[in-house]
Every structure is written in structure tokens, then in C-alpha cells.
Amino acid sequence: MIRGCADGTGGRIAVLVASTPPLVTLDDIEAARRLLAPVVRRTPVESSEHLSGLAGRPILLKAEHLQRTGSFKIRGAYHRIARLDPAERAAGVVAASAGNHAQGVALAASLLGVKSTIFMPATAAFPKVAATRSYGAEVVLGGGVFDDCLADAFAFAEETGARLVSPFDDPLVIAGQGTIGLELAEQAPQAGTVVVAVGGGGLISGVAAALKALRPGIRVVGVEAEGAASMAASLKAGETVTLDRIDTMADGIAVKRVSDLTLAHVTALVDDVVTVSEEDLSRALLVLLERTKSMVEPAGAAPLAAALAGKLPDDDGEAACLLLSGGNIDPTLLIRVIRHGLTAAGRYLILRVALHDRPGELHRLTGVLAGLGLNVVDIEHHRSGVHLAVDEVEVHMTLETRDPAHRAEVLETLRDAGYRVKPADG
């Protein structure tokens, strides 16, 4: 069939889908909710006046990062494993994941008395590996990215007879994730748009299947990281496309290839798929942490990143509900992302200042900065460089600033004071 699909820029392009796998139905999702009711949390939806002001439209937040295991993944994983017959359960399950699906499968398998083996990238964050093991799974580390681990999991399933629990390429998994859509229809009836992060596409497939059945006029928008936009590439090509490489801090949505099943759902049910930059992601994560006290991972911050970057369709005054899909972030990554987000938001200014190499010059410089009410976060001296004279030294400084306008004021004041100064990123 021919379907108009978004190219991430607001335009529409026509794509040809040669064959369409059967889509998950509302009945499938409602059956999943009955099975999951004793297991998963009904996570809250809350409004945010501050985020609404920043985005220029009413903003609601679906706090799925407060779900068991810290992400939505327990929904699909438990539903899939609970549907196995006794012989399949006895053979155990296997999965591949950078962290969230791993934890969902591990806990679900443990609750159902099923042995689980999880293949995770060698670079997976230690807290995610430790959490997966704590839920009872056997963890095998190897491979550079999720797709490498998925190949290992397929091989393990072939060798042992274990059942592969896909993070997205399974109707039962999609139906489990779709229970979030049922909750949203009840909790956020005022939302005209629902925004969902996209990795392999299982989450948005399920959410869209539920919402479009219950509220056909609602808009569903997917968000990918620019460095891992496999769904956008597949929509444009009209078939699943494998990316040559992926490059994003958002490991929860870092997938080289979506599936035919999720592509079919997105083509049929999703109104737009947009992309966001690493700066957008880090800025959104910082805003969520500061203003809503929500600790989410970069993938979970993707919907807000799209809202703040002006990537969502016109709202006509209707609210946008952003699905915060996960909160499992490595503390060391959190530190780096906060620093990156502060810089992207104009809250950090990193300068290179040339000074005469003589006593008192640094004191004079810090006096100028103190007069501006600035806090110096970090400072380093460099006594060599092709652009420095013999009697000069370069000082690298990190300063706390209020916003981009304040950054510009600082640069102008220093130059007026006679300093040769340049932003480190300029």
C-alpha cells in the first residue's frame, strides 16, 4: 500500500510497503492489561507549568521511568514470557539488551520461575549489568552494540532451545507495551498529541495501536536520536534499513535496524517521526532533573527534547503528553550529560584567554570576572601554543553563566577590558 510518512522535517513523503504484517489489535492489548494487572504499576501522568512555558504549549508527563525495573520494558517482557507453554518455559528464555529490556526480561522470568540468559554489550553501564544480575539472569557480555548482542542471542536460542524474547519484534511484546496507551487514554483525555521515543519501535507501535483504536483523531509522534535514526531511514526507504553505524548517548534507543513488524505499525498508525540532536537530549535531561525532579535517561528525555526543539506539530492549544520511558542512567554518564546540558543551555562558558606571562595578570583577570558575579568552575594554564607569543600564557576557564545572553555579555566585557578571548567551542 502507499502511505504518507514523515521525513522528520515536517514534510510528507510517499513510501511503498510491499507487504504488511498483521497489526496488534485493541483486543490484544486489553488482554495484555488483564494479565499484567497484578504485576505492573499504573504510572502517573502529571502536568508541568514550567515545561509548558518552555515548550509554548501545555505539557503532560507520563512517568513510566517510575515503573518496576525503571522502564516500560517489564510490560512487554512479562506478557511475552507469561504466554509461553510449559515446555517453552522449561527451556528458558534469552534476550539481548543494552540494559532496560535486560532488566525487564530478568525480572519477568524470575517472577514466572523461568531461567533467563541476557546478552549485553561489553560497554553496557555497570549499574544496568548489576541490576540485571540481581533480578536473577545470567549475563553474557560481548559485542559493541545491541545488534551484535542480538546476533549472539539468536545463536544461543538455536543451540539451546531457549525462547528468544525480542525487545520489539514480537506482537505479544508490542501488546504489553501498548497497555501504556490504554492508561494514557484514561489519564490524559485532554492530550491532542502523544510523543514517544523510538528505538526498535515496539513501544510506539503498542502505544499507537491502543490510542488510535480508542481516539482515532489523536496524533502520535515518534522521536529518534539523530545518530540512530533507523526508523526514519526505513520510512523513507519504504522497507527496513540497516544503519552503517550509530552514534548517540541514548543507548535505550540506539538500534541499527527496526523490524518489518514495527515498521508496519509506525507506517499505519504514527503521524510523524522526528529526530533530535545530542545537545537537545542533554538539555532536556537537565531540564527534567532541575525543574521536575525527574531523573530519566537520555532515551526517556527524547520526547521533551523534541518539544523544546520545536519538532512537534502545531498544537491548536491542545496538550502534548510526553512519555518518559526510562530512568536507568549510569551515574558517570549522568555527570557528563549534566555538564553537556549546562553548556548547551548557556549555563557553562568555557574560555581560552591569552595573558601576559607576568605576576598579577591572573589576579587581574579573576577580578574582572568577580565584578561580573561569575563563579569559576575550573581553570588551567597552558604555556605553549602556536598562537601564543613568547611572553604569553593561555588560560582555559570554565565559568557558570545564566543563559546565552549572559555568555555574550561576559565575552564583550572581557574584550572591552583588553583581553584576547575566545570560547573553547568557537
48, 71, 73, 212: which one is catalytic?
Answer: 73
Cα 37 from Cα 368, distance rounded (Å): 62
SS3 15: strand
Cα 30 from Cα 303, distance rounded (Å): 25
* 325 given a catalytic annotation: yes
C-beta of residue 33 within 8 angstroms of C-beta of residue 262: no
Q: How far is CA 190 from CA 59, 292, 324, 409, in A?
A: 11, 21, 18, 42
209, three cell numbers:
495501536
* 47 given a catalytic annotation: no
C-beta of residue 270 within 8 angstroms of C-beta of residue 222: yes
Of the candidates 390, 398, 386, 401, the residue with the CA atom closest to the CA atom of residue 353: 398
Residue indicated by cell numbers 550509530: 246
Of the candidates 285, 302, 303, the residue with the CA atom closest to the CA atom of residue 294: 285
Tell me whether strands 375-382 and 392-400 are parallel, antiparallel or unpaired. Answer: antiparallel
Cα 301 from Cα 324, distance rounded (Å): 6
Question: Among all residues, which ones are annotated catalytic?
Answer: 73, 325
